[in-house]
Structure 1
Amino acid sequence: MHRFGKSRAPVLSVDGLGPPPADIVALAASLAPFPPATNHYPGVRCIIRHQDRTVTAYVEALLEQAAPYIGGAFDIDSFDLKEASFSLVTTPAEALTAIQRAPHFDSIDPDLYAVLHYVRPNAGTAFYRQQATSIELVDQASLNRVVNSARTTPAPHGYINGNRGGYTCIGAVEGLEGRLVAYPARLLHSGRIPPGFIGSDDPARGRLTTNIFIRAHRS
């Protein structure tokens, strides 16, 4: 359990959950090729549909294994699966849009959490503070300040790494093969993509992750 930044933002990391990564790669390959992502993700993404029963069974079993850890880490009683997908980073650094070159948040919903399963080893995920506003966790009250500051601060060239472009890295989790990471969807974050990274749209070769969103329920 990590507590990052001034906000002590909770980030959970658990190893050894889910089936062997090679089996997950085979599941992803069964759905390939993935279409281009539509929400500023720098690559391709395949939404896992209910009719993809074998793949859905993997996601559901993974969440069942992770539930005690997630419940304890975030003090929640239960959660619903909102969306799951396989994702591969494929966009070259020089082709990124401005929004893709800066940290982002997925939602301001305080009950929405992101869950990542690193299927293949990679550099992981980093978490950030916006320097101009000192904000790490975005909510309704801070949304306009975060967005306005991002619009007026030039984004660094390439994928963000470390303290750049008006952001301070407050912590990171390494993307070990088979590791599960969970954090509030409103926490500023970005994938750690090293200089010289060459992406692939092949699940057996690329930076394959399972991206999941859950909504928490508390008594």
Structure 2
Amino acid sequence: MFNPRPQMRYVAIPGHAPCVVVDDFLRDPHALVAQAVAAQAQFAVDPANYYPGPELDLGRDTSLRLDEFFIQHVRRALGAQRTVSVAARLALATLQPAELHPLQRLCHRDCAELAPGVGAAAAVVYLFDDARLGGTGFYRPTQGPEHTARVLRDAHAGRVSPGHADGYLSASNADFELLCAIPARFNRAIFYDGEIFHAAQIAAPALLHPDPARGRLTMNGFFRFRKRSA
């Protein structure tokens, strides 16, 4: 399923582990796009995770194969010792700016309630040709942790903080500074530390489309792991 001889590139993110970039990630990416098109009716919105569109779980077999790639090629760069859990799903961003919940207008982390010694990582595989649909940006809070927590709580409660954009976050704002952005490219995968604030760089939301063959289709992976001893 995945390229057995991947070429790895590491993009520095100040204060964090690097983002691991792998081009030509899937052996047959068009087959996965076709699978998404055939299963379009099975995509569903999960309100619990605030993803701005419907998703489709890819099942245990795909998750385990993604974990094999993570273990073999990525885990050391992200400080992982062994995987505790893994999930993989297809995702299709579809919401227009006026439809976004305030929390969807901010960056986020994939590391809620991690136990001591446990880390988180995530993967995104871009399955669309038009790079204008957006890659992924990485951010750091510009204020202290208490202020940042308050901003996130307010957004969760539906309140918009001053200085925040009306749509998708794609640049620095009053509370978060953009550190770097990875452009989208068809069949490019990125792996990164889930403790980094990040957001899809959707600067042209008018291009979003509910058809998986035309829209911002991605394969997303989520890992929990035991951290490697220092």
Structures share fold, TM-score greater than 0.5: yes
Partner of 2:140: 129
1:49 to 55, 59, 70: 59
| 1:196 positional shift | 4.6
Q: Percent identity?
A: 26
What do the CA deviations read for 1:183-206 (whole angstroms, capped 9, x no partner)? 121210100102353322221111
Structure 1 regions of 5+ residues with no counterpart? 51-55, 134-141
Aligned to 2:165: 156
1:20 alignment counterpart? 28
Aligned positions of 1:1-219 closer than 5 A? 1-5=10-14, 7-33=15-41, 34-38=43-47, 39-50=49-60, 56-57=61-62, 59-108=63-112, 109=114, 110-121=118-129, 122=131, 123-133=134-144, 142=145, 144-150=146-152, 151=154, 153-154=161-162, 155-217=164-226, 218=228
Query: Per-residue CA shift, 1:116-174, capped at 9, x if unaligned?
Result: 111224421001112222xxxxxxxx4x5422134383332111111124221001111
> Structure 1, residues 4-38: CA drift from partner, whole Å, max 9, x if none?
13x13421111122222211101222322211232
Contact 2:58 2:89 in 1 (8 A): yes
Shift of the 156–165 alpha-carbon distance from structure 1 to 2, 3 Å rule, reads: farther
SS across alignment from 2:36? helix
Counterpart CA distance in 2 for 1:185 and 1:75 is 12
CA distance in 2, matches of 1:4, 1:31: 36
Q: Which runs of 5+ in 2 are unaligned?
A: 1-9, 155-159
Q: Give 3-state SS (helix, strand or coil) of 2:75's partner.
A: helix
How many residue pairs match? The answer is 203
- Give the deviation of 1:81 after TM superposition: 4.3
Moved more, 33-42 or 91-100: 33-42
Residue deviations 1:30-66 (CA, integer Å, cap 9, x gap): 322211232211111112234xxxxx34x54444344
